[in-house]
């Protein structure tokens, strides 16, 4: 971090614009800003998830690494044309996903968010991750982006789904299965 922030408010955004890391200013409701903000929101949800992890050091370590990746991803969006997320990030997600998925039984039902507070929080992070992916797809339709950022979010949502399943089943817990026709009166 080149310059330390000594004063948090600058009033430069009072006109509805914000500054990118490259010095350009754009509207606060621009898709690029939405992508940055959604990556930040996802990072916050993963931070809450980490605080729910009791004796889950392996998952907490993976989530901590992901938080750093997401901060880098937000930075990538803040500098148009930059490429921070690469194939190694995606490969690591796939390997981590395979590791956590190895002991899970095959899916035979849809799963509802829940099971444990940590599993429910992980599902919430997954849903925000899917939204972040949609925002990045939309951004890519109007501006040039690193395709690896989109791939990363796609794999991350898969990993969060698998981790939610793991967390719901830990310590004798169970996944909450969707029951077809239960919503009928």
Residue 163's pLDDT is what? Answer: 97
Residue 10's pLDDT is what? Answer: 73
Residue 95's pLDDT is what? Answer: 98
Convert the pLDDT of each residue in 37-59 to its tens digit. Answer: 999 999 999 999 999 998 899 99
Residue 174's pLDDT is what? Answer: 86
Per residue, what are the HEC states of the chain? CCCCCCCCCCCCCCCCEEECCCCCEEECCCHHHHHHHHHHHHHHHHHHHHHHCCCCHHHHHHHHHHHHHHHHHHHHHHCCCCCCCCHHHHHHHHHHHHHHHCCCCCCCCCEECCCCHHHHHHHHHHHHHHHHHHHHHHHHHHCCCCHHHHHHHHHHHHHHHHHHHHHHHHHHCCCEECCCCCCCC
Residue 124's pLDDT is what? Answer: 98
Query: Parallel, antiparallel, or unpaired: how do β-strands 25-27 and 17-19 relate?
Result: antiparallel
Convert the pLDDT of each residue in 25-40 to its tens digit. Answer: 877 788 999 999 999 9
Residue 16's pLDDT is what? Answer: 74
Residue 178's pLDDT is what? Answer: 87
Low-confidence ranges of the chain (pLDDT < 50): 1
């Amino acid at each position: 971090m080149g310059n330390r922030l000594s004063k948090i408010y600058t009033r430069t955004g009072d006109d509805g614009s914000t500054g990118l890391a490259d010095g350009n200013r754009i509207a606060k409701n621009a898709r690029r800003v939405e992508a940055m903000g959604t990556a930040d929101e996802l990072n916050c949800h993963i931070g809450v998830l980490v605080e729910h992890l009791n004796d889950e050091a392996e998952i907490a370590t993976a989530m901590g690494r992901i938080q750093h990746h997401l901060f880098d991803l937000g930075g990538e969006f803040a500098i148009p044309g930059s490429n921070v997320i690469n194939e190694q990030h995606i490969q690591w997600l796939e390997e981590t996903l395979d590791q956590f998925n190895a002991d899970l039984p095959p899916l035979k039902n849809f799963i509802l968010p829940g099971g444990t507070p940590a599993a429910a929080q992980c599902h919430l992070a997954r849903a925000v991750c899917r939204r972040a992916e949609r925002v990045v797809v939309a951004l890519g339709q109007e501006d040039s982006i690193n395709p690896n950022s989109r791939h990363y979010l796609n794999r991350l949502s898969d990993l969060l789904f698998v981790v939610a399943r793991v967390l719901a089943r830990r310590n004798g817990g169970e996944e909450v299965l969707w029951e077809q026709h239960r919503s009928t009166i």
